């Protein structure tokens, strides 16, 4: 196992986080990658990552609900996914230079572990879990607001889902709004399956499926956008 | 749209929940199914369900972390899934008789909507979201603890994942513990893929794949359990 990070580097990290840990053991655990503590799975940062993933999801969902008071669930979910995905968490980890203080096995450190997206993202989530346990939801929220507020603001201008993107595109072309029709609804009530067809003037219709009407509409819109080379989900802002 | 629930039924519901809403409009929204308010997607309970799903996930994760101080993430995740799944939420909804006070379109009500698992589960999550917005995380947590504590306690005795189940089975037979070996690790660092082989004396080996070692081990263990007709994930307690 590598040497623990220095007191000085931990002080600097806590300054960047904006929180002084009451229980520094939680901070140590958040920084401890599985490779450094293979013999004790409960002592590495995976449990804190498990918790922090849910803390982050709640804090971001709460922010989105307030930022977008008139947006339905279908518009909120892709924004949430964008903000909590691995690449976003790894980018935040890089902003606070988390890689430098991670506790890794020498082999993992030599293999570039301090720069790996997965390791950085997991450590960032573990840190959020540690903040929650040390200072409650508000301590975790303060950190998330500090590092996610610009990301939240940037989302506002981006087409966030296929239906919105298709509607904006058809409006931009002066066409009528896309027309969605349920083609079929099959399966039992507790596990339905919908097929929806979307039509936009001048394009062949596309179909999409899903376990609810909204998901099937999204899939149909996505198929049409993809086929017409207008947009792909990968265009979402990073 | 059907008539709103009576003041008396709302009082009874709040007694069962253990919370008196400061903003009764949040309670109304949590009870309002999309069918009753098709023209205003932001006014039905889907946004609250989106939020409540995350609140429930955090509260249960937090409880699991404390109940199982020595269990790694691979042991926590299946317990979480069991406790937050649709059927569990619908069962809680039935305990507080949520179906009776739901605001549904007459057509949905006539189609048995008040007994549908999906509608009940969604309303239960929406209620948790409303509690969070009305009284903070602690109000939501109090409700979840009231209705999930027995479910949490019952989990303690059940085999919760395939690796644990396989180990218990092989120990019960007086065999050595299952042996897991990584067969291959492919893909880029940010998106690795593992194939793991599990061997238990007296059985042909099985292989499983996943995006991390633990997931691949679980998949391999599950395959072996399934092939030997020892256990399937559906045996998990309800």
Cβ neighbours of A55 in B, within 8 Å: 58
CA angle, B82 then B83 then B84, to 5°: 100
* Residues in CB range of B47: below 8 A, 6 or more apart: A65, A71, A72, A73, A76, B29, B129
| Pick from A102-116, B164-178, B185-199: least confident | B164-178
Does one domain contain both A35 and A57?
yes
Domain that holds residue B188: 162-230
For residue B71, is it within any domain? yes
Q: Is A57 on the interface with B (CB under 8 A)?
A: yes
Whether residue B237 is contained in a domain is answered as: no
Structural domain includes residue B1: no
| Mean of the per-residue pLDDT values of chain B | 88
Answer yes or no: B191 catalytic. no
CB-based burial label for B15 (10 Å; 0-12, 13-18, 19+): exposed
Q: Which of B49, B73, B189 sits opposite A116 (nearest CB)?
A: B189
Say yes or no: B33 and B125 in one domain: yes
Task: Say yes or no to pLDDT of B42 above 90.
Answer: no
Q: Could B190 and A116 be called an inter-chain contact, meaning their C-beta atoms sit closer than 8 Å? A: yes
Of A155, A170, A202, which closes a domain?
A155
Q: Which residues 145-184 on chain B approach chain A with CB closer than 8 angstroms?
A: none
pTM of the entire structure? 0.71
A82 flagged as catalytic:
no
pLDDT tens digit string along A10-26?
A: 999 999 999 999 999 99
Q: Is A135 found in the same domain as A89?
A: yes
Q: In whole angstroms, what is the distance from residue A33 CA to residue A57 CA?
A: 22
Please indicate, yes or no, whether residues A151 and A182 belong to a single structural domain of this protein: no
Substitution target in B63, B72, B125 with the highest count of A β-carbons within 10 Å is: B72
Output the six-digit token pair for B132: 């969070």
Is A72 in contact with B42 (Cβ distance < 8 A)? yes
- State which residue of chain B sits closest to A213, comparing Cα positions: B34
Question: What is the Cα B87 distance to its own chain's centre?
Answer: 8
- Asked whether residue B151 falls in the same domain as residue B178, the answer is no
Q: Is B49 on the interface with A (CB under 8 A)?
A: yes
Cα(A113)–Cα(B187) distance, integer angstroms: 16
Q: Which residues are CB-contacts of B4 (< 8 A; sequence separation ≥ 6)?
A: B28, B103
Say yes or no: A34 and A86 in one domain: yes
CATH number at residue A62: 1.10.1520.10
List, in order, residues 6 or more apart from A15 with CB less than 8 Å away. none
Partner A, chain B 190-209, Cβ-Cβ below 8 Å: 190, 192
Render B196-207 in DSSP notation, one character per residue: EEEE-TTS--EE
Is the pLDDT confidence value at B150 over 60? yes
Q: Is B23 on the interface with A (CB under 8 A)?
A: no
DSSP code for B6 = P
Residues in chain B within 8 Å Cβ distance of A61: 50-51, 54
Chain B CB within 8 Å of residue A137 CB: yes
| B63 in the same domain as B137 | yes
Q: How far is A201 from chain B (nearest CA, A)?
A: 24
Same domain for B12 and B69, yes or no, is yes
Give the DSSP letter string of A57-94.
HHHHHHHHHHH-TT--HHHHHHHHHHHHSHHHHHHHHH
Q: Does B72 touch chain A (CB under 8 A)?
A: yes
Q: What is the mean pLDDT of residues B52-64?
A: 98
Asked if residue B236 belongs to a domain, the reply is: no
Q: Which of A113, A137, A155 is the last residue of a domain?
A: A155
Min Cα distance B59 → chain A (Å) is: 9
Range with the lowest mean pLDDT among A27-31, B150-154, B230-234?
A: B230-234
- How far, rounded to the nearest angstrom, does the alpha carbon of residue A159 sit from its chain's CA centroid? 16
Weakest-pLDDT range from A27-31, A35-39, B28-32: A35-39
- The distance of A42 to chain B (nearest Cα, Å) reads 5
> How many contacts, defined by CB atoms under 8 Å, are there between A and B?
86
Residue A1: predicted pLDDT: 47
Contact assignment for B189 to A47 by CB distance below 8 Å = no
What is the pLDDT, as a whole number, of residue A238? 29
Interior/surface letters A155-189, b for 16+ CB within 10 angstroms, e for the rest = beeebbbbbbbbbebbeeeeeeebebeeeeeeeee
> Is B195 among the domain residues?
yes
Q: Label residue A237 by pLDDT band (50, 70, 90).
A: very low
Count structural domains, chain A: 2
Which of B155, B187, B221 is the last residue in one of the domains? B155
- Among A124-138, A184-198, B179-193, the range with the most confident prediction by mean pLDDT is A124-138
Are B200 and B175 in contact, with CB atoms under 8 Å apart? yes
Percent of chain A clearing pLDDT 70 (strictly above): 91
Q: Is A39 contained in some domain?
A: yes
User: Is the Cβ pair B49, A117 closer than 8 Å?
Assistant: no
CA of A8 to nearest chain B CA: how many angstroms apart? 30
Instruction: Please indicate, yes or no, whether residues B71 and B150 belong to a single structural domain of this protein.
Output: yes
B116 and A189 within 8 Å at the Cβ level: the answer is: yes
Of the candidates A51, A69, A132, the beta carbon closest to that of B42 is on A69
* Cβ-defined contact of A190 to B50 (cutoff 8 Å): no
- Angle of helix B46-67 relative to helix B117-155, nearest 10 degrees, comes to 10
Joined tokens for residue B28: 């109304």
Residue with tokens 């067809």: A197
The reported pLDDT for the residue numbered A232 is 47
Angle of helix A24-31 relative to helix A117-155, nearest 10 degrees? 110
Domain assignment of residue A237, yes or no: no
Record: contact A54-B57, CB cut-off 8 A = yes
Does A23 touch chain B if contact means CB atoms closer than 8 Å?
no
Mean local confidence (pLDDT), B123-137 = 98
* C-alpha B164, offset from chain centre: 20
pLDDT at A170 over 70: yes
Same domain, B102 and B143: yes
**CATH number of the domain residue B206 falls in:** 3.30.160.20
To the nearest whole angstrom, how far is the Cα of B229 from the nearest Cα of chain A?
A: 26
The end-to-end CA distance of chain A, in Å, is: 34
Phi/psi at B71 (5° precision)? -100, 135
Q: Are residues B48 and B113 in the same domain?
A: yes
A182 and A126 share a domain?
A: no
Q: What is the pLDDT of residues B75-95, one digit of tens each?
A: 899 899 999 999 999 999 999
DSSP three-state, residue B136: helix
**Cα B30 versus chain centre, distance:** 19
Residue A122 lies in a domain: yes
The residue of chain B nearest to residue A71, with distances taken between CA atoms, is B42
Contact A58 B54 (CB under 8 A): yes
Residue A173 predicted with pLDDT over 80: no
Lowest mean pLDDT among A89-93, A201-205, B167-171: B167-171
């Amino acid at each position: 196992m590598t040497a623990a990070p220095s007191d000085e580097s931990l002080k600097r990290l806590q300054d960047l986080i904006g929180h002084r840990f009451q229980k520094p053991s939680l901070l140590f655990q958040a920084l401890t990658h599985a490779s450094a503590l293979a013999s004790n799975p409960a002592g590495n940062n995976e449990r804190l990552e498990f918790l922090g993933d849910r803390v982050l999801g709640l804090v971001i969902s709460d922010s989105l609900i307030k930022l977008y008071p008139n947006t339905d669930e279908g518009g909120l979910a892709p924004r949430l996914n964008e903000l909590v995905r691995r690449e976003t968490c790894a980018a935040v980890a890089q902003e606070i230079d988390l890689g430098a203080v991670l506790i890794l096995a020498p082999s993992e450190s030599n293999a570039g572990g301090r720069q790996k997206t997965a390791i950085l993202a997991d450590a960032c989530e573990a840190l959020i879990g540690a903040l929650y346990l040390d200072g409650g939801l508000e301590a975790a929220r303060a950190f998330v607001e500090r590092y996610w507020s610009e990301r939240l603001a940037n989302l506002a201008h981006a087409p966030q889902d296929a239906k919105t993107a298709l509607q904006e595109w058809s409006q931009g072309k002066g066409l009528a709004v896309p027309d969605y029709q349920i083609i079929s609804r099959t399966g039992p009530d507790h596990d339905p399956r919908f097929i929806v067809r979307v039509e936009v003037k001048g394009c062949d219709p596309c179909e999409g499926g899903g376990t609810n009407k909204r998901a099937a509409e999204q899939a149909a819109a996505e198929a049409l956008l993809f086929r017409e080379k207008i947009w792909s989900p990968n265009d979402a802002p990073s």
